[in-house]
Amino acid sequence: MESRQVYMDHGATTPLREEALEAMMPYLQDKYGNPSSIHSAGREARKAVDEAREKVARALGAEPAEIFFTGGGTESNNIAIRGAARLKKGRGHLITSAIEHHAVLDVCKDLEQDGFKVTVLPVDSHGLVELRALEQALGPETFLISIMTANNEVGTVEPIGEIGALARERGILVHTDAVQAVGQLPVDVKKLNVDFLTLSAHKFNGPKGIGALYVRKGIAVSPVFRGGGQERKLRPGTENVAGIVGLARALELAVAELPQKTDHLTQLRDRLIAGLLRIDDVTLNGHPTLRLPGNVNVSFNYIEGESLLLSLDLQGVAASSGSACTSGSLDPSHVLMAMGLDHQHAHGSLRLSLGRGNTVEDVDYVLSVIPPIVQRLRKMSALYPQ
Ligand SMILES: *Cc1c(COP(=O)(O)O)cnc(C)c1O
């Protein structure tokens, strides 16, 4: 097969779509007013921010006053979790899961250092948070549960609606990191029963460095950052007007295109999984059905993930791995380890995350280049039974 460039790392980031760039351009050039200024240039920028807030609210089933623009997913997670905890003055219990993004896990660990009690829930072998463990962890001091809508590494979709209902009954707040879900799954804050929801534009073909936090009406949060009065003091600092406009445009289009995109990605995903599982000693990581439409994660036994990534890169394929070296730490992916994988399988993992630009030809190309690479790497492996 003729060689080609295939980007299958949409879980890491996505390309900025043309329509979002077009919507942003005026605010990077002529319409440079500060939304806080009272002159017409300022009012023009303010209007753009207000309209974007309405679009984002509509996309999530929220009200505009419940949407706060932030500097991205990491920032939204910090503002929600730290902001809710700050009101508790160092006392209380929060619950999260072992497969969260570090922007949730590390915040919870920090709060533990500050005196909060933290429960990190285990997951099953498919990466699903166990509701029974969650119910058992609830106590009189529990004030917040933070569980992701869908996992970025293995694509498992968590039962947030049920978790939300269970928490609401008990007056416990729920935050969900929906960075991977927004633009890939229908996301409605009312159906999810959540109080806080995090999203990030660069995961749905918007620009990087801009995100949003949904905060349910009437829920108090103490600001982490101090400064001006922007975003009703929850996220002070001059608004990233172009980023906000690009986020809203990308989100509005992603939501409108969701049914077709879901069908397209699900077909590509299932073709890719079926093809990969035809190779010897390959296992699928994550849930067989409760899975993001664009996520494929497999482990190749007897292979190092980073060797596989380097070989794939030489063939024009961009992917990622849960092996240690790629994450810059000594341990392999905390997500795969929490699911009970042994070190060998965790080190040999490969994530191919599909996005709107991918085609059947891309999938078939990847399926044609992987088997010879795997065969070659296994021949060099001391562990492989020759
Ligand atoms: C990418 C990602 C983040 C971080 O978002 P940034 O906008 O890059 O800070 C957080 N959570 C999940 C699940 C992600 O996939």
- What is the predicted pLDDT for the residue at 327? 59
Residue matched to tokens 């995350």: 353
Distance CA 131, CA 346 (A): 25
Tell me the per-residue pLDDT of 190-201, one tens digit each, with 9 for 90 and over. 999 999 999 999
With a cut of 70, say whether residue 368 has pLDDT above it: yes
The residues annotated as belonging to the active site are 325
Of the candidates 238, 284, 223, the one whose C-alpha atom is nearest the C-alpha of residue 79 is 223
| pLDDT at position 27 | 98
Residue 382 banded pLDDT, cuts 50, 70, 90: confident
Ligand 1 centroid – CA 267 distance (Å): 25
Note the pLDDT of residue 331: 78
* Per-residue pLDDT tens digits for 93-106: 999 999 999 999 99
As a whole number of angstroms, the distance between CA 56 and CA 298 comes to 34
pLDDT reading at 383 higher than 90: no
Rounded to the nearest whole angstrom, what is the distance from the C-alpha of residue 348 to the centroid of ligand 1?
23
> What pLDDT does residue 381 have?
83
In the structure, what pLDDT confidence band is assigned to residue 330 with cuts at 50, 70 and 90?
A: low
Q: Could you write out the three-class secondary structure of 313-350?
A: HHCCEECECCCHHHHCCCCCCHHHHHCCCCHHHHHCEE
Residues 267-319: tens digit of each pLDDT: 999 999 999 999 999 999 999 999 999 999 999 999 999 999 999 999 999 99
Taking 90 as the threshold, does the pLDDT of residue 7 lie above it?
yes
Which one of 156, 203, 205, 247 would you pick to mutate in the ligand 1 pocket, going by the greatest count of ligand atoms within 8 A of its CB? 203
pLDDT of residue 22: 98
Indicate if the pLDDT at residue 167 is higher than 90: yes
Average pLDDT over residues 322-331: 68
Tell me, in angstroms, the distance from the centre of ligand 1 to residue 150's CA: 11
Cα–Cα distances (Å) from 156 to 18, 126, 319, in that order, read 30, 7, 18
Residue 60 CB neighbour total at 10 angstroms: 23
pLDDT of residue 3: 87
Identify the pLDDT of residue 324: 67
Q: List the one residue out of 21, 3, 10 whose CA is nearest residue 356.
A: 10
Does 115 score more than 80 pLDDT? yes
CA of 12 to the centre of ligand 1 (A): 8
Question: Each residue of 222-247: pLDDT tens digit?
Answer: 999 999 999 999 999 999 999 999 99
Indicate if the pLDDT at residue 384 is higher than 90: no
Q: Token pair 């219990």 is at which residue?
A: 93
- Length in residues, the chain: 386
Q: What is the pLDDT of residue 298?
A: 98
Q: How confident is the model at residue 329 (pLDDT cuts 50, 70, 90)?
A: low
Average pLDDT, the chain: 96
Q: What is the pLDDT of residue 260?
A: 97
Give the mean model confidence (pLDDT) for residues 141-154. 98
What span, in angstroms and rounded, lies between the C-alpha atoms of 73 and 174? Answer: 16
Distance CA 312, CA 307 (A): 9
Query: Taking the CB of residue 32, how many other CB atoms lie within 10 A of it?
Result: 13
Q: Judging by DSSP bridges, how do beta strands 117-121 and 93-97 pair with one another?
A: parallel
How high is the pLDDT of residue 90? 82
Domain at 18-256, CATH from 3.40.640.10, 3.30.479.20, 1.10.3720.10, 1.10.600.10: 3.40.640.10
User: Would you state the pLDDT for residue 325?
Assistant: 64
Distance CA 209, CA 219 (A): 25
- Tokens found for residue 123: 């997951």
pLDDT average, residue stretch 170-179: 98
The C-alpha atoms of residue 174 and residue 193 are separated, in whole angstroms, by 8
| pLDDT above 90 as % of the chain | 94
Looking at the domain covering 6-15+258-380, what would its CATH class be?
alpha beta
pTM value is 0.97
Closest CA to 147 of 168, 129, 170: 129
| Residue 150 alpha carbon, nearest atom of ligand 1 | 13
Residues at CB less than 6 angstroms from ligand 1: 72-74, 101, 103, 148, 152, 177, 179-180, 200, 202-203, 211
Domain boundaries, the chain: 6-15+258-380, 18-256
Distances (CA, A) of 101 to 97, 172, 353, 375: 10, 21, 16, 33
Ligand 1 atom showing the smallest separation from residue 100 Cα = 13
